[in-house]
Structure 1
Amino acid sequence: MALIKKEVVDQIILQADIVEVVGDFVSLKKKGQNMWACCPFHHEKSPSFSVAPNKGIYKCFGCGKAGNSVQFIMDVEGTSYVEALKYLAKKYSIDIEEDQSPAAVQAQNERDSLYILSDFAKKYYVNALHKNDEGQSIGAPYFKQRGLSAATIQKFELGYSLDSWDDFTKAALEKGFLLKYLEETGLTIVKQEEGKQYDRFRGRVMFPIQNVSGRTIGFGARTLKTNDKKSPKYVNSPESPIYHKSDVLYGMYQAKQSIRQEDNCYLVEGYLDVLSLHQGSIENVVASSGTSLTENQIKLIGRYTKNITVLYDGDPAGIKASLRGIDLILEGGLNVNVVLFPDGDDPDSYIRKVGDTAFKDYLEKNSRDFISFKAELFAQEAKDNPVKKAEAIREMVVSIAKIPDAIKRSVFLQQCSLQFGIDEQVLISEYNKIHLTEQKNSRSQPSQGSSYGNSPASYAPGSFEEMAAEAEAAAAAEAAMYEDEGAPEADQSNVLRVREREVIRFILNYADKEVEEGLTASQFMLGELEDIEFKTPIYKKLFDLCRLKLEQGFMPTASEFMQHEEKEIRTEVVDLLSEKYELSKGWATHEIIVPHESDLVSYGSEREVLRLKWRNVQLMIKEQMDTLPRLKEAQELDKTLRTIKALKEFEKQIADLLGIVVSR
């Protein structure tokens, strides 16, 4: 984004009509002020995906996806922010003026050079496979032997590297590519001290690795010399400015649409597993390419689905080695199923053995949730050995503890209890110990931003789902609170969060609406709450941003916050602007006038301020009351009691203004 000037970004966002942008991907129907459709991000029968043309936003009330036009392209295409801006700029014929500072131009030119070189290499290897005698006599027969069709070879742009010392390097240099880029991508190995340079890939079949936008960023290569003990079976491109192994999954570019449509991602280990399944019409499949699954790869899958099915071969050692990666998936809030193939088979060999239809049937019949699978695996190992059984049980609880969803945890603890024949309460107790230990460790260590979903950089809000769920929970709590606003037993922290949310929602929706002549809602509310310290981090951020804007002489408008660099803020702002329900036109037909919130801004802004102050006073009273048992000095006790009395008096004054009866 650094290369696109802010005024151009503003122009793109201003011109990008949310209805037109979303309409390119789904069929929208007007209902009330908004447009509705079945969500393109998850399966549903009744439309819950809403587009608000007047606000320039979309929101799915089913899966929680939300944002503006740029975010929609990021979500639906799986692209970066910059790529989404470029997509919209092209759609609306906007010239992207780039930052022409020498440093910015050089950085972009170097990345572009690496992409162009990688694309040249891909075409070179494809050409070597199809038009070179060596490729036709050695590379092509290998793919044929593995049962790959010409269509599959073409779709994944498979190739062959000639068994020559520096054939590719010479070809690239002749085309004008610089040696430093050849070395940087790892396509050429340079031995400076010996004055030599040679091809990294020689005499191998080539598997181009692409990012989610389809650009070639690296290669996997398999040797065909089975008798050469010194040569590794597979060689991959090294890390480079455009290729980071931990961020990439093989086949994601070809699989992303199918993963979204099927709402499931099959995870396999090797390139050929992906190719064979694609050929068998199972396109929602990606590979970790023989490396341990990483948090960033899990986040990448999480952009398209919350469901992963891991396909294991029958090797027990390999399964055990993969368990840690599955714990990471659970920790990321995704659902994990497992399919185990007969011993000696992997997905590639099994689909070739039984055929496409039987393979799909096998997946359907043998898919099971990971916790059950792991429990059975460990139970078989432990058998009648009490020590091993205890270790197995603890391993299970460790995995279950990774699951963020409390209901799922509870179900799996019950399941584990039955599997191992152990009292459920013992498992809950063990879970509590693990949970407390993890909390203690996280408090004692400075945050490194490495844990899935906790890093500021992880927004990416695959976290859209989590935040939307929180917002829905907050709305439910708010509804209950309105029914009995004076309930003393209410969960104070959650109620306070709801009240802070409502204040921010009101400011963003009605920032420039006047509550009286010369005084806007945002000026009134920010002024009245000047001394209030917001407790919920996201609303504190937004409140501070609103206050800063006002101090700078600008209205704190939601449209500007929707372009904020922090995705957490962008997501929350969209959520605060989204309305799930609209007033039926039937009321107007029967001449029943129901005022909208926007007609009562003066009343609403004052009421929201009072509600937040009231909840804060209640919290202060509780805090003071909690200190009473610990006070030993008469003077301290007297002072605290007088403070409580004053706070209760203030609470009653606010309650009177709100029309709430406070009983003590």
Structure 2
Amino acid sequence: MARIPKELVDHIIQTADIVEVVGDFVQLKRKGQNLWAPCPFHNEKSPSFSVNPAKSLYKCFGCGKAGGVVQFVMDVEGTSYVEALKYLAKKYAIEIQEEEKTPQQQLEQNERDSQFIVSDFAKNHYHRLLLNSEEGMSIGYGYLKERGLNLSTIQTFELGYSLDAWDDLMKAAETAGFDKKYLEKTGLTVIRTDDQGKDTGRRYDRFRGRVMFPIHNISGRVVGFGARTLKRDDKMAKYLNSPESEIYHKSDVLYGLFQARQAIRTQEVCYLVEGYLDVLSLYQGGIKNVVASSGTSLTEGQIRLIKRYSDNVTVLYDGDAAGIKASLRGTDLLLEGGLNVRVVLFPDGDDPDSYIRKVGDQRFTEYIETKSQDFISFKTTLVAREASGDPVKKAEAIRDVLHSIAKVPDAIKRQVFLQQTSGIFGIDEQVLITEYNKLVKSPGAAAKPSGPPDNRGNYGNGAGSANSGFPPSSNPRSAPSPRPMTDEEEAEMLMYGGAEAAAALQGMSAGFPSGAAQKEEEEDLPDMLKVCEREVLRLLVLYAPREVEEEISVAAYLLGQLDEAPLKTPLFAEMWEICRQELLAGRFPDARLLAQNEREDIRQLITDLATERYEISPNWRTKEIYVFNEVDLPKLACDNAVLRLNKVHVQRELDRAMDRLRLPGLDDVEMFEILGNIKNLKLLDNQLAGMLGTVIPRGT
């Protein structure tokens, strides 16, 4: 994948008007310097979503979503960084000339584009046949109408029909000028072979006489098809899906997600069903936040897709005992992925599609709201009922439930689930805890502990135990190896930071403390130090080019007043260094560009520094009430921030000196040295307090 030159990326970001971009999705109203609207990412009545046009940033003070104009497009459309840039470039008529590709890269891109184009042609062909051909109308449209689907739903999901002919699509594609090899690569046509597997030269359409369900990727492009036969033939598969191809990977696609993504985000829950018709019937019934695994086992890729839009998923199970047991295994993956999982079970013989057609939209919605229960309780009750009266089956059922509990990342939830399981099975909770700890210690277990052994067992202290702070899958000391990046991810990450940015994506340090280590280090720092460091960093980011004195900028002034690496909070220190490097390169740090950083924690920090929920009322000025304005007095703001930071450092040193004074075994020389240091530190602390105006220095 070719890269977009950094200069062009900066031009797109500088050109894009965040008010116009956000205004395409929500209705903004001005209030003070900012514009406000109900958040497009979650349900709310009072607007808490703010857009700052001066800094080109947005932030929701309800759900916490924040960032710049590129991040907004990524969030609202569910696109990648590069796709968001292309969206903005198209909106503002900016031509993107990507850096030159190698011949191999160009060939691969052409191959993928050709497969997308031929798939789109097939989708349009099938859709046209459904609505305009005699066979399509009588058989395909008649079937969909019988299943209760209206024309609006059919058009929204672009449903179609394939004629019961061997080469209808193939002839139409060839007439339109498509190369037959792309029909073969996407699986739209099949190559006939002889008994030795050799190509006979004959081709035929894969889909014939079937209702067609186009499968879209998250960007809305057709990547494959699901097809249902309407013939009563036991030898013929009821559903036939496109084979894997360069553009279609079943494990990374969820049917209906393109249509449902906005509703999932705003409703803050994703309903997961099994089949195409389940999705269509629920969507038509007003439940638009619904997707399907399309009859395949749930995969980690599909779980990551759901998690991009919501942490909450409700699985709608058919009332079929055999199907439920098969689905339980896939649902464990949802728990392991850190999702909050709930379950709804329909009456025996019903699935979501049949049940909503039976009881109607309103009663269906009421049913899933009242019958929803957390997955662990559901599974525990189910397996306990099946094992009733059989001690051997009961023991196996308990271990099965413990396997699921071990996949829950949240320690408190694990403890609650253990208590619930104890009550349902009628077994002592401590026995369950003991068995749980055996499970997480066993080789190959879902949650393998890595903490030191302890005579109370892992439940009490060990990492990965039932009440530990780390989920089994995210324990920093036993984390799995990072997955390889795709070409698209590598290109995006290299956009700004080269190999270091790619390393950051994979969780490697790139010169700074990683994830858990950084968190532990931050926890050791006092809150007041973080507050003071944040204020210094805020002034640097927001007012870098503003002059504090003639020809002396805020950035130069702060760098001159403080050491080269003055901040101790790891993320703040990293941001300080990024700003310092910008200045060394002859550029001032720009909050608009910094807010587009590929790392979420940096984007969030920049947005937090640059946005405030409240503004000073202009009425205060009419009443001649003096309010300190850092914009007009940047030197005073910088001096106060530096003095406060230095004062906190002095107070920390004073605390350390007092701790040393309490150490046993000090001789007189050591004690006098420490006392002298304490005296000097107290004097310096008083001087700093006097300069800040928080105390009156002696002698005044």
TM class, shorter-chain normalised? 0.7 to 0.9
Deviation at 1:280, TM superposition (A): 2.6
What SS class does the counterpart of residue 492 from structure 1 fall into?
coil
1:572 is aligned, of 582, 605, 608, to 605
The residue type paired with residue 233 of structure 2 is: N
Q: Say whether residues 1:339 and 2:372 are aligned partners.
A: no
What SS class does the counterpart of residue 79 from structure 1 fall into?
coil
The residue type paired with residue 481 of structure 2 is: S
Once the two structures are overlaid, the 10-residue window that deviates more, 425-434 or 353-362, is: 425-434
Deviation at 1:273, TM superposition (A): 0.7
Q: What pairs up with 1:61-140 in 2 under 5 angstroms?
A: 61-99=61-99, 101=101, 103=103, 106-136=107-137, 138-140=139-141
The residue type paired with residue 603 of structure 2 is: R
* Aligned-partner Cα distance in 1 for 2:603–2:425: 46
Contact kept? 1:449, 1:456, Cα under 8 Å: no
Contact kept? 1:204, 1:224, Cα under 8 Å: yes
Deviation at 1:206, TM superposition (A): 1.4
Once the two structures are overlaid, the 10-residue window that deviates more, 171-180 or 420-429, is: 420-429
Q: Say whether residues 1:198 and 2:204 are aligned partners.
A: yes
The residue type paired with residue 21 of structure 1 is: V
The residue type paired with residue 198 of structure 1 is: Y
Contact kept? 1:36, 1:48, Cα under 8 Å: yes
In structure 2, relative to structure 1, the CA distance for the partners of 1:25 and 1:456 (3 Å cut) is same
Once the two structures are overlaid, the 10-residue window that deviates more, 278-287 or 97-106, is: 97-106
Cα displacement string for residues 279-337 of structure 1 (whole angstroms, at most 9, x for unaligned residues): 33332211111123334433433444443221101223332333344344344444332
Deviation at 1:351, TM superposition (A): 2.0
* Aligned-partner Cα distance in 2 for 1:163–1:277: 29
In structure 2, relative to structure 1, the CA distance for the partners of 1:448 and 1:4 (3 Å cut) is closer
Contact kept? 1:499, 1:611, Cα under 8 Å: no
Corresponding residue number in structure 2 for 1:486: none
Once the two structures are overlaid, the 10-residue window that deviates more, 206-215 or 501-510, is: 501-510
Q: Say whether residues 1:322 and 2:327 are aligned partners.
A: yes
What SS class does the counterpart of residue 46 from structure 1 fall into?
coil
In structure 2, relative to structure 1, the CA distance for the partners of 1:378 and 1:239 (3 Å cut) is same
Q: Say whether residues 1:545 and 2:575 are aligned partners.
A: no
In structure 2, relative to structure 1, the CA distance for the partners of 1:650 and 1:411 (3 Å cut) is farther
In structure 2, relative to structure 1, the CA distance for the partners of 1:491 and 1:10 (3 Å cut) is closer
* Aligned-partner Cα distance in 1 for 2:491–2:399: 32
Deviation at 1:343, TM superposition (A): 1.5
Corresponding residue number in structure 1 for 2:448: none
Deviation at 1:369, TM superposition (A): 2.7
Q: Percent identity?
A: 58
Contact kept? 2:528, 2:648, Cα under 8 Å: no
Deviation at 1:59, TM superposition (A): 0.2
* Aligned-partner Cα distance in 2 for 1:89–1:5: 13
* Aligned-partner Cα distance in 1 for 2:671–2:395: 52
* Aligned-partner Cα distance in 2 for 1:587–1:151: 55
Contact kept? 2:406, 2:472, Cα under 8 Å: no
Once the two structures are overlaid, the 10-residue window that deviates more, 66-75 or 8-17, is: 8-17
What SS class does the counterpart of residue 171 from structure 1 fall into?
helix
In structure 2, relative to structure 1, the CA distance for the partners of 1:440 and 1:513 (3 Å cut) is closer
1:234 is aligned, of 222, 230, 239, to 239
Cα displacement string for residues 533-557 of structure 1 (whole angstroms, at most 9, x for unaligned residues): 8553x44442332232233232233
2:624 is aligned, of 564, 584, 591, to 591
Corresponding residue number in structure 1 for 2:225: 219
Corresponding residue number in structure 1 for 2:538: 505
Q: Say whether residues 1:12 and 2:12 are aligned partners.
A: yes
What SS class does the counterpart of residue 26 from structure 2 fall into?
coil
In structure 2, relative to structure 1, the CA distance for the partners of 1:56 and 1:445 (3 Å cut) is closer
In structure 2, relative to structure 1, the CA distance for the partners of 1:297 and 1:177 (3 Å cut) is same
Deviation at 1:438, TM superposition (A): 3.1
The residue type paired with residue 248 of structure 2 is: Y
Contact kept? 2:473, 2:479, Cα under 8 Å: no
TM-score, structure 2 as length reference: 0.76
1:610 is aligned, of 643, 646, 667, to 646
* Aligned-partner Cα distance in 2 for 1:317–1:612: 64
In structure 2, relative to structure 1, the CA distance for the partners of 1:576 and 1:247 (3 Å cut) is farther
* Aligned-partner Cα distance in 2 for 1:325–1:641: 65
* Aligned-partner Cα distance in 1 for 2:6–2:397: 56
What SS class does the counterpart of residue 267 from structure 1 fall into?
strand
* Aligned-partner Cα distance in 1 for 2:492–2:6: 23
What SS class does the counterpart of residue 348 from structure 2 fall into?
coil
Q: Say whether residues 1:280 and 2:285 are aligned partners.
A: yes
In structure 2, relative to structure 1, the CA distance for the partners of 1:398 and 1:417 (3 Å cut) is same
Corresponding residue number in structure 1 for 2:564: 530
The residue type paired with residue 210 of structure 1 is: H
Deviation at 1:404, TM superposition (A): 4.9
Q: What pairs up with 1:621-636 in 2 under 5 angstroms?
A: none
Once the two structures are overlaid, the 10-residue window that deviates more, 39-48 or 504-513, is: 504-513
Contact kept? 1:51, 1:57, Cα under 8 Å: yes
In structure 2, relative to structure 1, the CA distance for the partners of 1:244 and 1:52 (3 Å cut) is same
TM-score, structure 1 as length reference: 0.79
Contact kept? 2:229, 2:238, Cα under 8 Å: yes
Contact kept? 1:126, 1:157, Cα under 8 Å: yes
Q: What pairs up with 1:454-533 in 2 under 5 angstroms?
A: 492=525, 501-514=534-547, 519-526=552-559, 528-531=562-565
* Aligned-partner Cα distance in 2 for 1:194–1:122: 27
Cα displacement string for residues 253-296 of structure 1 (whole angstroms, at most 9, x for unaligned residues): 22233334433322101001112222333322111111233344
Q: What pairs up with 1:15-30 in 2 under 5 angstroms?
A: 15-30=15-30
Contact kept? 1:401, 1:431, Cα under 8 Å: no
Once the two structures are overlaid, the 10-residue window that deviates more, 183-192 or 546-555, is: 183-192
In structure 2, relative to structure 1, the CA distance for the partners of 1:130 and 1:31 (3 Å cut) is closer
Q: What pairs up with 1:353-432 in 2 under 5 angstroms?
A: 353-383=358-388, 392=397, 395-396=400-401, 399-400=404-405, 402-404=407-409, 412=417, 415-416=420-421, 418-420=423-425, 430=459
Contact kept? 1:529, 1:609, Cα under 8 Å: no
What SS class does the counterpart of residue 189 from structure 1 fall into?
strand
What SS class does the counterpart of residue 26 from structure 1 fall into?
coil
What SS class does the counterpart of residue 169 from structure 1 fall into?
helix
The residue type paired with residue 302 of structure 2 is: Q
Once the two structures are overlaid, the 10-residue window that deviates more, 287-296 or 518-527, is: 518-527
Corresponding residue number in structure 1 for 2:591: 558
What SS class does the counterpart of residue 206 from structure 1 fall into?
strand
Unaligned runs of 5+ in 2: 434-457, 494-522, 696-700
The residue type paired with residue 17 of structure 1 is: D
Deviation at 1:350, TM superposition (A): 1.7
Contact kept? 2:533, 2:645, Cα under 8 Å: no
Contact kept? 1:218, 1:243, Cα under 8 Å: yes
* Aligned-partner Cα distance in 2 for 1:557–1:445: 35
Contact kept? 1:417, 1:427, Cα under 8 Å: yes
Cα displacement string for residues 32-85 of structure 1 (whole angstroms, at most 9, x for unaligned residues): 322222212111222211111211111001101111222222222333333333
The residue type paired with residue 320 of structure 2 is: D
Q: Say whether residues 1:149 and 2:141 are aligned partners.
A: no
Deviation at 1:131, TM superposition (A): 4.2
Cα displacement string for residues 435-479 of structure 1 (whole angstroms, at most 9, x for unaligned residues): 36937975245531499xxx99999xxxxxxxxxxxxxxxxxxxx
* Aligned-partner Cα distance in 2 for 1:84–1:498: 34
Contact kept? 1:398, 1:431, Cα under 8 Å: no
* Aligned-partner Cα distance in 1 for 2:198–2:670: 78
Once the two structures are overlaid, the 10-residue window that deviates more, 248-257 or 139-148, is: 139-148
Q: Say whether residues 1:208 and 2:214 are aligned partners.
A: yes
Corresponding residue number in structure 2 for 1:474: none
